[in-house]
Amino acid sequence: MEERTKIGELTPVNIPIQMLAITDRSGKVTPIWFRFETEEHQIEKIAIERTISRDESFSVGIREKKFICSAIIDDRRRLIELRYHVENQKWRIFRFLS
C-alpha cells in the first residue's frame, strides 16, 4: 500500500520503509534505523532506540516477523510496530502503538 504520511498522526498504517537491521548468528533480527518518504516528499530517518518484543505470525499463510520498538519521532518517544514480510523481504510500519 503506497501511502505517504506525516509522522505524528496516530492511525496511519502500512507505510513502506527502507530498513537497516542486523541479523545475529542465531538468525535474530534487530532493526537499527529506517527511513521513508513523507507527504512533503522528504526523506525522514528514524533511529530505533530499543526493540521491546519480537513475534512471528503466519496469518493466511503469510509469514511475517513482528517487532515492537520504541523510537524518538518528532521529539516524542513512541511505540511502533514494524513488520517484516519474510517472503518478499519488505519492511513496513504496521501501526503506531502510542
Query: For other proteins, which residue of 32, 47, 62, 97 counts as binding (CB under 8 A)?
Result: 62
- Under rule CB under 8 A, residue 58 binds other proteins: yes
Closer Cβ to other proteins, 22 or 60, answer by number: 60
- Minimal distance, residue 67 CB to other proteins, in Å: 15
- Minimal distance, residue 63 CB to other proteins, in Å: 9
Q: Are 49 and 78 in contact (CB under 8 A)?
A: no
Q: Are 54 and 31 in contact (CB under 8 A)?
A: no
Element at 77 (helix H, strand E): strand 76-85
- Minimal distance, residue 94 CB to other proteins, in Å: 6
Query: For other proteins, which residue of 1, 10, 22, 43 counts as binding (CB under 8 A)?
Result: 1
Helix (H, G, I), strand (E, B) or coil at 61: helix
Q: Are 70 and 52 in contact (CB under 8 A)?
A: yes
